[in-house]
Amino acid sequence: MCEIMKEIEKLRRRIDEIDDQLLELINQRLMVARNIGDIKSRFGAAVVDARRENQIYQRLSSLNGGPLKEAALHRIFQALIAAGRGIQSPLKKGSLVPLYVVIGNPVGHSLSPVMHNSALAHEGLGGCYLACQVKDIAAAVAGIRGLGIRGASITIPHKVSVMEYLDEVDPMATDIGAVNTIVNQDGILYGYNSDCAGGVQAISDKTVIKDKDVAIIGAGGGARALGFGLKREGGVVTIINRTPSRGEKLAGDLGCRFRPLAEVNELPYHIVVNATPAGMTPDVDGIPLSSSLLEPETVVMDMVYNPLQTRFLKEAQSRGCVTVDGVAMFVHQGAVQFELWTSLAAPVDIMRQVVLEELESR
């Protein structure tokens, strides 16, 4: 036993030595990154260079012959590069760091912090995005005003109740009846619904929406936001829902057709969207309706993103359908938020990559 402890102690000392060297090297690397940032700033060049960062990842993964997994290598260097951007930040010493939050209850599982913090770091913006578990939405909105928080994501259960505390609500969010994004512009709070535009963008990446027949399965918040977005894009929407009264209500608000889920025995649509939690972890064998009803070449979207490849999407793919995963919608709604808050184009590829890595590591 004593010999084993001695051996462990020896190995731990070796780890400490390696950590010392790593720390020294990381600081050296940061100093070089800062020098590059200073030179670029002097010549007015953009400090962040996504192409160069890609080259770094590619070079290192081609060199990696050890037990370090590709995803872990990526995460480690992503953190190093983000730390480099932090000290290259255009924010001067003493200037205020812009704060962003996600407000919900529960909120610990939210992927938004990792997504938005990576986007902020990638753009060299030096802001910080935090998760806040909130019971009292009125107090939280007062906090946004009082603390000068630049932007907030609003999630379950506050998307509807938050609306009465805002100064202005975007007409589309008013129609949907839910706000998931707040922009604080010089103390005036504006509300938006980015689920709507995010879902539309995720589908538009795969197909034209105008004049297409679209079936949305579900009649909750997700279906409502996407339904309004697809209608605005010229899609011909049908709501399919398990509980007829709820489906009829949404169809009435949208001015579109309704079909009870139990009576569906064919799906003659160009686009079919699962906006129910069927198939979401831990119910991974769940499916909103039989995939045998799907016609080949239909564009099938699943709003569920955990797992990324739901049973519905896997079966749709094997039937020859084009698929859109829930992360696409999630990332695009986040990109809309980022653009509203910063007026910069969101680094969508980076956002998707970190969200996928985060999901994989959970």
Ligand X SMILES: NC(=O)c1ccc[n+]([C@@H]2O[C@H](COP(=O)([O-])OP(=O)(O)OC[C@H]3O[C@@H](n4cnc5c(N)ncnc54)[C@H](OP(=O)(O)O)[C@@H]3O)[C@@H](O)[C@H]2O)c1
Cα–Cα distance, 189 to 178 (Å, whole number): 15
Nearer to ligand X, 124 or 222 (CB): 222
Question: Taking the complex as a whole, how short is the minimal distance between the CB of residue 226 and ligand X, in angstroms?
Answer: 8
Question: What's the CA gap between 223 and 199, in Å, rounded?
Answer: 10
| Contact between residue 272 and residue 300 where contact means Cβ atoms under 8 Å apart | yes
Residue written as tokens 């084009």? 322
Token pair for 332: 């695009």
Nearer to ligand X by C-beta: 323 or 333?
333
User: Is there binding between residue 120 and ligand X (CB under 6 A)?
Assistant: no
Give the contact letters, 306-345, x = binds to ligand X (CB under 6 A), - = no: --------------------x--xx--x------------
Query: Which of 129, 128, 126, 116 lies closest to 95, judged by CA?
Result: 126
Closest approach, Cβ 126 to ligand X, in A, equals: 27
Radius of gyration of the chain from Cα atoms?
24
**For ligand X, which residue of 112, 276, 291, 323 counts as binding (CB under 6 A)?**
276
By CB under 6 A, residue 104 contacts ligand X: no
Using CB under 6 A as the criterion, what x/- string covers residues 185-224 for binding ligand X? Answer: ----------x----------------------xxxxxx-
Q: Which stretch binds ligand X (CB under 6 A): 5-13, 22-30, 298-306, 347-355?
A: 298-306
Instruction: Indicate whether 304 belongs to the interface with ligand X (CB under 6 A).
Output: yes
Assess contact for 229 and 196: CB atoms under 8 A. yes
**Which CB, 33 or 280, lies closer to ligand X?**
280
DSSP 97: P
Reading the block at residue 55, the tokens are 């080259």
- What's the min distance (Å) between Cβ of 199 and ligand X? 7
Residue 351 lies near ligand X (rule: CB under 6 A)? no
Query: Per CB under 6 A, does 152 bind ligand X?
Result: no
- CA 78 to CA 73: how far, in whole Å? 8
Residue with nearest beta carbon to ligand X: 220
**Residue 154 in contact with ligand X, rule: CB under 6 A:** no
Beta-bridged to residue 245, according to DSSP, are none
Rounded CA-CA distance 269/278 in Å is 20
In DSSP notation, 217-251 reads E--SHHHHHHHHHHHHTT-EEEEEESSHHHHHHHH
Complex with ligand X: residue 88 or 193, whichever CB lies closer:
193
Residue 298 engages ligand X in binding (rule: CB under 6 A): no
Name the residues annotated as catalytic: 159
227 belongs to the binding site for ligand X (CB under 6 A): no
C-beta neighbour count of 271 within 10 angstroms: 24
Q: Specify the residue for token string 């109740």.
A: 161
List residues binding ligand X (CB under 6 A): 195, 218-223, 241-243, 246, 261, 275-278, 280, 286, 288, 303-305, 326, 329-330, 333
